[in-house]
Structure 1
Amino acid sequence: MFSDLDVDVRPGSGIGMFELGSSLWTILDMLRRMQHVFPQVDVKYDPDASSTTPIILHLRPHIDLLFSGKHQRLRTICIRKLRDTSPPVTLRYKDAILSSPEEVLRRVGVSRTFGPTYQQNAGEDLRYPGIWFSFEEDGLVEGRAGTQSEDRMQEVKRVLVSQKEHDTQEGDALGEVAYCPVMDGDISLAVVKVSIRSSYTYKPALTSEAKVHDGVILHFYPSTAKPIHVRLGVTTAQDLMVDLGAPLRIHYKEDDRMTIHASSRRTDSADPGYFYNYFQHGLDFLLSGTTHVVKKIILHTNIPGSPLFQRYKRCNWEIEGKPEDDEDDTPPRKRFYDRFETTSHFLNPREQPPPSMLLDRTDEEDNVTLPSATTRLYGYDGIILEVSEASQIVSVTLF
């Protein structure tokens, strides 16, 4: 049974329970708990650009939520089919009712509530800072001929809310979201720094390989927040509790399939440890069961269509190398959306990708089928890349 939808409109900020700048993970997690209000949610994205695709959540029949492609932040909210009564929808602005089953929202009503705009031609959408009103179900209005009285009585078909900062950015409808307070406390960037180890082989040819045994530097919103350096073999469970708060889950079983990449001297069978799962940050930490220090760090990309999609929030990670010289202040980086072949060459520039291990995460789930359920694990010195069939990096493991 549908519930009535009664929401307030906040130009430049949000509509109802939906706040601009919220993460895709947060919104979907909220919708999962509100199935009585939104029983059906459609997730739409471009499978050919899965790591950077903008994502639309369609909450039938009234609401469309557009998320930015890289940071997966709510950028635009659209309320449509205002006259559809399944369920009926009521829009409020401050203390006034804009639209309801009894009140039809028309051009004259918008003008009375919000005042004049720069749009003067008959039939054009009415745009205000952070909100605009459309008189067509889909697409932009081209303008039409009509008398002034006819124009005044045009019925509003869609209401869209976006950040006020984007009103002046023409052609940036799919751009990223500007900082807003709802982001506070979220990780803005996770930086993995690598060094290049050089050695001579018997040929003797010089080979280079990335070495990662330090950890990750976590940057937060707002930008004035102090970064946190989580160090392998140093940071403790108590440190994580202090810096990141309590994990959403503590898991006491390690995935034995990962031990294929460990050398005999670093076999973890005697100390399987336990995981701190920070789904809200896109991070996992494996801690020693005896010393309680961090042994592994896993950063998740949250790619649509992958087996772990929506289990973790997207972690905006970068792998950073050393600058070529002391005067270079822009060290080379590989980011979460770079293809595997590019990142692999960055980690091991003189070699082909290492042998891989096949992983099917749906083996652990009942009644779950995905078109691309399998991934491959590629091991380097101190780092493991989990790669989809489309050469997108699904996760990065540091050990």
Structure 2
Amino acid sequence: MLQQRTRRRCEGTAMGAIILDLRPGLGIGPFSLGMPISEAFAQIEQQPNIYDVVHVKYYDEEPLKMDIVISFPDHGFHLRFDPWSQRLRLIEIYDVKRLQMRYSTSLIGGPATLATFVAVYALFGPTYPGVYDRERGVYTLFYPGLSFAFPIPSQYTECCHNGGVELPLEFPDGTTPVTCRVSIYDSSSGKKVGVGSLMDKASAPPLPPGSIYMEEVHVKLGEELYFTVGTQHIPFGASPQDVWTELGRPCGIHQKQVDQMVIHSASDLRPRTTLCGDYFYNYFTRGLDILFDGQTHKIKKFVLHTNYPGHADFNSYIKCNFVIYGSDSVGGSFQEVHNSKQRAITPSTKWEQVKEILGDCGRAAIQTQGSASNPFGSTLVYGYQNIAFEVMKNGYIATITLFQS
């Protein structure tokens, strides 16, 4: 099922046309191709009077099969994020009359400036003949990192056949088509992106060398994490000073709430309080929480986040790109584990596949995120030696907690 979450306009807020700078091959306004979805939400939150109605659409049953889309219906455009990397791959203006775009010092689109074929050609200059989609009746004109789609009336379709179009396109009656869609995409791969199947060709631009975004984090169960880009090793028992040295300053620090599952431990007779002495280091940009023992100040747990939409923590963390191998590989070096033919558990692995790799673990505990008003419902927590999985209703992993049994 395609899910849609809406942020509603506050009463009294006026809907008006906005002007955004158009940057072919780069982005529009504050939104840049390749940006993580969390950065896009941050831009939206900084300008609530402009982006006051926002729809977030995703496929909740199979979240990796379709884009995550942030749509602005008042302004006629939306942002398409790759579902795996959660980076912006395509910007589409689907209602050009609702959005005025500024290119250099000129305006195009919006209610006052029609984006006709002649106007587009005059503003952006000469280019090669475009592509006519006979099935959709749409002619697409391409520039580097930018395309314009024009609907062609049925009586003039012969004007667009066989690549014999004279530019700028004008019909025999002296009229010129008006664009129905503008696409902004990365042009570094040389692909042309437009409507229909051409839309799928858009991809996020390459990450800069040395970027830690979505770096692989190899998990050695019961022992340590290994960060493959920075080559840091963070073992259980490390101190806060060790972590600061390897990963830098945390994004946040907060004290841990008492574990509600501790009631199931017959050996723990301590009185219950709201807070305990343990504390977390939050690395939101790495999708990672590190729990320290409040008395020894040593690492006792790691929590890795997948940042799937449909979970209560969505958009709180960047996705952690972890790689976990079966328990029988524990004890070897990371290189030995990596070179083995074992199946790995990653953020894309579904729960049924996890059970095939690690075996069945029995009944699950139900987790409600501490609030009956949580719109996403409860999740299930399954435990194995040294690792616990929080699983969403669609079978995908929400978080992984690592500990030493």
CA distance in 2, matches of 1:272, 1:336: 31
Report how far residue 114 of structure 1 moved.
3.5
Mapped contact 1:300–1:396 kept (Cα < 8 A): yes
Letter in 1 for 2:224: G
1:136 deviates by: 4.5
Q: Does 1:12 align with 2:25?
A: yes
Structure 1 residues 63 and 181, CA, compared in 2 at 3 Å: closer, same or farther?
farther
Q: Quick one: structure 1 residues 261 and 28, their matched pair in 2 at CA, closer, same or farther if it must change by over 3 Å?
A: farther
Sort the Cα spacing of 1:287 and 1:161 in 2 relative to 1 into closer, same or farther, 3 A.
same
Q: Which of 192, 201, 204 matches 1:177?
A: 204
Cα offset for 1:378? 1.1
Deviation at 1:260, TM superposition (A): 6.6
Decide whether the 8 Å contact of 1:261 with 1:379 is kept in 2: no
Match of 1:369 in 2: 375
Q: Is the 8 A contact 2:17 2:110 kept in 1?
A: no
Aligned residue-pair number: 359
What does residue 178 of structure 2 align with?
155
Q: Please tell me whether residue 216 in structure 1 is matched to residue 219 in structure 2.
A: no
TM-score for the superposition, normalised by structure 2: 0.77
Show the counterpart of 1:222. none
Q: Distance in 2 between matches of 1:364 and 1:314?
A: 23
Change (3 A) 1:327 1:232: closer
- Correspondent of 2:71 among 52, 55, 58: 58
Residue type of the partner of 1:389?
K
SS in 2 for 1:27: helix
What letter corresponds to residue 33 of structure 2 in structure 1? L
Displacement, 1:28? 1.8
Inter-partner Cα distance in structure 2 for 1:311 and 1:342: 26
Judge conservation of contact 1:90–1:100 (CA < 8 Å) in 2. yes
Q: CA deviation at 1:145?
A: 3.7
Q: Would you say the 8 A contact 1:215–1:297 is kept in 2?
A: no
AA aligned to 2:91 is I
Deviations 1:342-374 (A, max 9, x none): 1133224xxx2233211111x336x4433xx11
Residues 183 and 327 from structure 1, CA distance in 2 versus in 1: closer, same or farther, beyond 3 angstroms? closer
Q: State the 1:226 CA deviation.
A: 2.3
Higher relative contact order (CA 8 A, sep 6+): 1
Q: Which moved more, 1:100-109 or 1:277-286?
A: 100-109
The 5-angstrom pairing of residues 269-284 of structure 1 reads 272-284=277-289
Cα root mean square deviation, aligned? 3.5
Q: Is the 8 A contact 1:123 1:145 kept in 2?
A: no
- 8 Å CA contact 2:138–2:151 kept in 1: the answer is no
Identical amino acids, percent of aligned pairs = 26
Separation of aligned partners in 1, 2:177 and 2:106: 19
**Which residues of 2 match residues 314-325 of structure 1 at below 5 A?**
314-321=319-326, 322=329
In structure 2, what is the Cα distance between the partners aligned to 1:166 and 1:172?
14
Alignment pair present for 1:385 and 2:392? no
Pair 1:102 & 2:112 matched? yes
The reply on whether 1:357 has 2:365 as its aligned counterpart is yes
Q: Which amino acid aligns with 2:139?
A: E
The structural deviation recorded for 1:171 is 6.1
1:124 paired residue number: 139
CA distance in 2, matches of 1:153, 1:172: 24
**Paired residues for 1:292-331 under 5 Å:** 292-321=297-326, 322=329, 328=339, 331=342
Check whether the contact 1:22–1:183 (CA below 8 A) recurs between aligned residues: no
Stretch of structure 1 that moved more, 65-74 or 272-281: 272-281
Aligned-pair CA distance for 1:176:
5.1
Which deviates more from structure 2 when the two are superposed, residues 39-48 or residues 162-171? 162-171
Give the conservation status (yes or no) of the 8 Å contact 1:215–1:398: no
When normalised by structure 1's length, the TM-score is 0.78
Residue 215 to residue 262, structure 1, CA distance change in 2 (3 Å): farther
Question: For residues 296 and 311 of structure 1, do their structure 2 counterparts lie closer, same or farther at Cα, with a shift above 3 Å needed?
Answer: same
CA contact 1:54–1:174 (8 Å) conserved in 2: no
Q: d(CA) in 2 for partners of 1:239 and 1:176?
A: 38
The answer for the alignment partner of 2:81 in structure 1 is 67
The SS at the match of 2:130 is coil
Aligned with 1:344: secondary structure?
Answer: helix
1:256 shift after superposition: 0.7
How much does 1:166 deviate?
5.1
Does residue 44 of the first structure (1) align with residue 47 of the second (2)?
no
* Residue 239 (1) aligns with residue 242 (2): yes
Kindly tell me: are residues 389 and 232 of structure 1, through their superposed partners in 2, closer, same or farther at Cα, counting changes over 3 Å? same
Shift of 1:3: 5.3
Structure 1 counterpart of 2:254, one-letter code: H
Q: Give the alignment partner of residue 80 of structure 1, picking from 94, 106, 109.
A: 94
Q: Structure 1: which 5+ runs fail to align?
A: 194-211, 220-224
Q: CA deviation at 1:100?
A: 4.7
